[in-house]
Amino acid sequence: MQLSQSKCSLKANEGRWIYIWVNSMKLYQALRHVDKFRTVFDFGGREVAHWFPGHMAKGLKQMRANLKSVDCIIEIHDARISFLLYYTIKQNPVFQDTLSAKPHLLILNKMDLADLSNKQVQILAAALAESHVSSILLYYSYIYSAENPEELVPKVMDIIASKPRFNREEITNYCLMVIGVPNVGKSSLINSLRRTNLKKGRASRVGGEPGITKAVLTKIQVCERPIMYLLDTPGVLPPKIESVETGMKLALCGTILDHLVGEDIIADYLLYSLNRLGKFSYVDKYDLQEPSDDIQHVLKRIAVKLGKTQRVKAITGVGNVTITIPNYTAAAYDFIRAFRKGELGQVMLD
């Protein structure tokens, strides 16, 4: 009996070792070409379109006009490109002199999509501790389901109490201004606070693309005790993004409208970034044989897996023929959306 059990145990151990060896060989085969992948992205002389429409300029003027009635500024960043967003906001002439004059709370949003093992968030927090930011809160992609929206009001009250209110000293209610680049979650935060503190529905439109909020809205109440209002604002970007790569990272996170940059180049930059960071989950998600540095190959596989095709006319020697080909644009769109939803793993683009 004991001999039989020993044989079974040996066979089980042998099976495990074979399984480990087979998977190690698969991993080796899959990664054997990775060292030949691109180390620098070729933008081909492209320039990222400057997403600075008329509504943004109008919104900036309104924000400047409303700053005197604001007790605290809440600045929201995408944690995946926190350094870029911080310096993008800081470079804007409307806020260069204002941010240090007002109590200031920084919120790093979409923390669950960021690669925290990178330690960039900790580095950012240390750097901001020496700047104008009074405090930092961490939020997750779906703010409405997070456990920490109720932390914001007490935190804001502590920050406001630490500085004089000047012309608002005798006023018993509080007004906050929410700022950040487009599509970073400003309106979602406002709606979350209303649900948490007032048990009311959304008061600010939200959407999956930048430009939903086009002007500074009227005061939106988000708390009863104390009475607290928030001003939703349009996204803030400098009139010109100096670095093409900075603009590409902003576009990848949905801060710039996709069609202004091009889904094809955004998808290619995403593939380059994932490979550079060693994030190969796209291989399993789209049934690739191994990691690839060829965006056309990857998009073709995505299109085949998802059944994304299109019919086009081809001119031949016997006349026009309608053929079916992979829809590369639809595949690029799905690839980009998968990244933004966190389906391709946790990433830090800084």
In a domain, residue 21? The reply is: no
CATH assignment at residue 86: 3.40.50.300
Are 142 and 268 within one domain?
no
In a domain, residue 37? The reply is: no
User: Whose CA is closest to 139, among 218, 200, 78?
Assistant: 78
DSSP string for 202-269: --S---SSTTS--SPPPPEEEETTTTEEEE-------SS-S-HHHHHHHHHTTSS-HHHH-HHHHHHH
Domain that holds residue 148: 54-232
pLDDT at 65: 79
In a domain, residue 180? The reply is: yes
Are 200 and 329 within one domain?
no
**Encoding tokens for residue 255?**
């801060």
Are 288 and 168 within one domain?
no
User: Whose CA is closest to 249, among 277, 222, 230, 224?
Assistant: 277
Total domains present in the chain = 2
Are 91 and 218 within one domain?
yes
Are 197 and 102 within one domain?
yes
pLDDT at 143: 36
Are 110 and 195 within one domain?
yes
In a domain, residue 246? The reply is: no
CATH assignment at residue 333: 1.10.1580
Are 279 and 185 within one domain?
no
Are 228 and 266 within one domain?
no
Are 115 and 161 within one domain?
yes
The backbone torsions φ and ψ at residue 177, rounded to the nearest 5 degrees and listed phi first, read -115, 130
pLDDT at 145: 35
Half-sphere exposure of 103 (CA within 13 A, CB side): 20
Are 336 and 277 within one domain?
yes
In a domain, residue 302? The reply is: yes
In a domain, residue 162? The reply is: yes
Helix (H) / strand (E) containing 301: helix 295-306
3-state secondary structure of 134: coil
Are 178 and 121 within one domain?
yes
Distance CA 195, CA 86 (A): 28
State the virtual CA torsion across 325, 329, 330, 334 in degrees, nearest 10.
130
Ranges of residues in the chain with a pLDDT under 70 are 1-33, 46-59, 82-100, 118-149, 201-218, 236-242, 317, 350
pLDDT at 279: 92
State the virtual CA torsion across 190, 62, 134, 340 in degrees, nearest 10.
50
Q: 211, 232, 253: which is the final residue of a domain? A: 232
Are 82 and 188 within one domain?
yes
